[in-house]
A and B are shown apart, each in its own frame.
Chain A
């Protein structure tokens, strides 16, 4: 009972949007498609739904070819980014829609439809809203109604396009936990699209990171967070500081930087690039160090500093302000890198690697 996607490709005119997607989603799994806008994640979701069709590749569910089926025949539940509720129907009629359009022979009776809708309203905790119209609901309430409408047809796969995109931060966090609960108790297979990594990591069993029509990495949230597979994923996860280093016997070296905390890596000797988060740098006053603080700005809890070594190397770091009293502009500092991710090749070639024009296998080599 799994959804299998193989070599899926799609172009809009001359622009390739998906360039060979391979993915398998197991029964009951909650998967996030994570990527920046233009990465093809929504197109992939719409193809799974039957709202768009690929130019090449395969899509099957439980052994059946879904590309030969219409959206209705696939029986999926789709929750649109802006919900697309029917404005002239009450919440109750919106949720019942999928049941009332069934062919007469397979349509449940009126009482049975009403019972199903009541059950969903309870399940989604919106019993009090049954007779309201969509215009009379808040964003979070609309989201629940949209989910209820999709779930009424007992979909085999639930698909959500940026489910929390249009909501404010607090509602977003609440609904996220609530959706995880809904998924767990309903037991459906769920795939959702998001550009927010926190959302993907908190909610999903597995995260699929997409970029430029390719899948960059598939893995459990922790796996991806700790071991980004490509420079793109590293940057996307906030490892925004890129430093040129030299690999020697599995250890990274760079003048004026203490890299002893980094684990040994099985990389060939030669130039490489170290990706790290600004928070993964410790800066300590050291009169002998080649780096000097050239900028310092407080964000309250953190001090954001820029250190330069006079030969064009510029590093941004964030240090807790209480540990950084001694850091002021002009102060020489020793920099200790606490954590980071190393990719072979110099910064220039690493930048080239981050271009979205290469399939996954090459990226991992």
Chain B
């Protein structure tokens, strides 16, 4: 409190809540380095060891291609579903007040909290021919378990919160004045949604769906129970990597894993770039 103590502070130095930029930044970089970056680098190094020719051979092998195709198609199906349903759920949670809203809001996080293997087992039980859903769908000729649809259902289950939770806060912060302004200017409810609300949430909606897609690509626990894992038919890429590992084919496992990582990274970069482009001129400089 004394004047001398205050005067003793180096000039121009601001006091911070956490002790120092150096220490906090150091901790952050250490974490990112050890937990995030190092494994990815190790993967790339392992991949580089293989050599381009062998790498190409592994990735273009019929079984790998089939697995990648299934993974990408199922993830795309799950993401299309999640984009619509996630947006709808965020909308309902933000725009309406009803009994049980907070409970419903909490339930959105169940897929995050539930072990994915448990989710996979539960879904398999429900959709198998004598399960609750399967008993209805099977006579209609719709098979879910051991098909691409089952894979998509499992992927959708674990990734839908990403859409809900990224869109929800943006929707909450929307200025109701903008909608009222559109109303006084003669816009129909449909025009208000497509021209005022949707453009406002589009950047976060894009990010949410991209993360959901990336997550679906790598989903393992929930999928392997319901997929049946028939080679060339319902075998996902990450499972194939595990199989290669169990066969002591480290190169094969690394090549498949690397391909998955590359697709996910490209997606995230593109989505962030799109988001930056869309929001660039909206934020005051």
A84 touches B284 (CB 8 A): no
Contact residues, A65-98 vs B (CB, 8 A): 70-72, 75-78, 80, 82-88, 97-98
A101 touches B188 (CB 8 A): yes
B185 touches A135 (CB 8 A): no
Q: In the docked arrangement, what's the CA distance between A149 and B234, Å? A: 56
Asked, given contacts A78-B181, A80-B177, A80-B180, whether A87 binds B187 with beta carbons under 8 Å apart, the answer is no
Question: Which residues does chain B contribute within 8 Å of A98, judged by CB atoms?
Answer: 185-186
The one of A88, A97, A153 that contacts B282, using a Cβ cutoff of 8 Å: A88
Return A249 CB to nearest CB of chain B, in Å.
57
Which stretch of B34-42, B85-93, B194-202 is in the interface? B194-202
Q: In the docked arrangement, what's the CA distance between A243 and B183, Å? A: 51
B177 touches A149 (CB 8 A): no
* B106 contacts the other chain (CB 8 A): no
Question: Which residues does chain A contribute within 8 Å of B30, judged by CB atoms?
Answer: none
* A35 contacts the other chain (CB 8 A): no
Q: Would you give the 0/1 interface string for A251-284, flagging 1 where the beta carbon is closer than 8 Å to chain B?
A: 0000000000000000000000000000000000
The one of B180, B186, B199, B285 that contacts A88, using a Cβ cutoff of 8 Å: B199
* B2 contacts the other chain (CB 8 A): no
* A166 contacts the other chain (CB 8 A): no
B181 touches A135 (CB 8 A): no
Return A129 CB to nearest CB of chain B, in Å.
13
The count of residues in chain B whose C-beta lies closer than 8 Å to any C-beta of chain A is 23
A149 touches B191 (CB 8 A): no
Question: Which residues does chain A contribute within 8 Å of B188, judged by CB atoms?
Answer: 101
Nearest A residue to B188 via CB reads A101
Asked, given contacts A82-B177, A135-B284, whether A51 binds B183 with beta carbons under 8 Å apart, the answer is yes
Q: Would you give the 0/1 interface string for B142-156, flagging 1 where the beta carbon is closer than 8 Å to chain A?
A: 000000000000000
Q: Which has the most chain B C-beta neighbours within 10 Å: A75, A77, A84? A: A84
* B247 contacts the other chain (CB 8 A): no
Return 22 A-B CB contacts under 8 Å, by A number. A49-B184, A50-B184, A51-B184, A72-B184, A77-B184, A78-B180, A80-B180, A84-B178, A84-B181, A85-B181, A86-B181, A87-B200, A88-B199, A88-B282, A97-B195, A101-B185, A101-B195, A102-B186, A135-B281, A136-B284, A150-B185, A153-B185
Given contacts A87-B200, A88-B200, 13 further A-B pairs with CB under 8 A are A50-B183, A71-B184, A78-B180, A84-B178, A84-B181, A85-B181, A86-B178, A86-B182, A86-B196, A87-B282, A88-B199, A134-B282, A153-B186
**Which residues of chain B have a CB within 8 Å of any CB of chain A?**
175, 177-178, 180-188, 191, 195-196, 199-200, 278, 281-285
Shortest Cβ-Cβ A-B pairs, 10 listed: A84-B177, A98-B185, A72-B186, A133-B281, A101-B187, A88-B199, A78-B184, A84-B181, A135-B284, A80-B177
**Which residues of chain A have a CB within 8 Å of any CB of chain B?**
49-51, 70-72, 75-78, 80, 82-88, 97-98, 101-102, 133-136, 149-150, 152-153
